[in-house]
Amino acid sequence: MNIVCCIKQVPDTATVIKIDPEEKHIQREGITYIVSPYDEFAVEEALQIKEKLGDTTVTVVTMGPERAKEALRQCFAMGADEGYHLVDDAFDDSDTYATATTLAAAIKKIDFDLIICGKHAVDGDTSQVGAQVAELLDIPQVSMIMKEEINDDKKTAVVNRQLEGGEEVLEVQLPSLWTCQKGLNEPRYPTLKGIMGTKKKPITDFTVSDLGLSPEEVGLLGSKTDVSKMYPPPPRLPGRIVEGEPEEAVKELAKLLREEAKVI
């Protein structure tokens, strides 16, 4: 089997986000980057499938600036076999439509039976790219998987996905695209051997022209939407500590919730 994982490099979740003076992007200085946590679930699941089925290649694909190579190497250290880096200034300011267009063009050049993505990337938080890639490749998608089992014929799989109030069990044809929810697995830590091996694993760069796309189809030009402004979230007004002995404090709190906040 050939499994392609789409992974994205994002700011560490502990990062304090500051907005740049242009109010269009976040400030890049001082940020440490990680592989988006949900994408680690994707790589982990691909590796577990490989361990189970044997004879499987796990390919990681990312679109991003030069530094995103580091994210591919982190996936190599976990055990992924090869990487593709979609890197070109023309890709800047892509929305999900343009991102999916670029990723799908790259994936078409790679033989695949299964694509695994994260549920969402923890920067834009859109949850859109996976489904849009699936649409462009004309394959079915299953969002927010919690469990999967590829059937012996390797043409179908049984997958659980999370829904409000429970899980839905589905049978899906392969090739298909799945997005991962937390709870699916526990991503492994890279081993020393894994880290040592990363240098030997191949990374292929793709630019716009390598993908056979025109500059109008990618980046901001190829996007349907544009972030016109970025700003800090509205501040929460300073709250109040309800003082007093437990009995009194609780009475006061209940009263405030009913009469001031009007939430109960």
Ligand X SMILES: Nc1ncnc2c1ncn2[C@@H]1O[C@H](COP(=O)(O)O)[C@@H](O)[C@H]1O
Please list, residue by residue across 227-250, b when 16 or more beta carbons sit within 10 angstroms of its beta carbon and e when fewer do.
eeeeeeeeeeeeeeeeeeeeeeee
We find the least distance from the C-beta atom of residue 254 to other proteins, in angstroms, to be 4
Closest CA to 176 of 114, 116, 100: 114
The tokens of 27 are what? Answer: 């400030």
We find the least distance from the C-beta atom of residue 90 to ligand X, in angstroms, to be 14
Q: Are the C-beta atoms of 123 and 11 separated by less than 8 Å?
A: yes
Closest to ligand FAD by CB, 4 vs 117, is 117
Interface positions, 63-122, toward ligand X (CB under 6 A) = 63-64, 96, 99, 103, 117-118, 120-121
Interface positions, 2-41, toward ligand FAD (CB under 6 A) = 13, 37
Which amino acid is residue 186, in one-letter code? E
Q: Are the C-beta atoms of 10 and 163 separated by less than 8 Å?
A: no
Contact region with ligand X (CB under 6 A), list: 125-133, 169-177, 212-220, 223-231:
125-133
We find the least distance from the C-beta atom of residue 55 to ligand FAD, in angstroms, to be 33
Q: CA end-to-end span of the chain, whole Å?
A: 55
Under the binding rule (CB under 6 A), the answer on residue 183 touching ligand FAD is no
Closest to ligand FAD by CB, 69 vs 182, is 182
Interface positions, 92-121, toward other proteins (CB under 8 A) = 95-97, 100
Which amino acid is residue 10, in one-letter code? V
Q: Site residues (CB under 6 A) for ligand FAD?
A: 13, 37
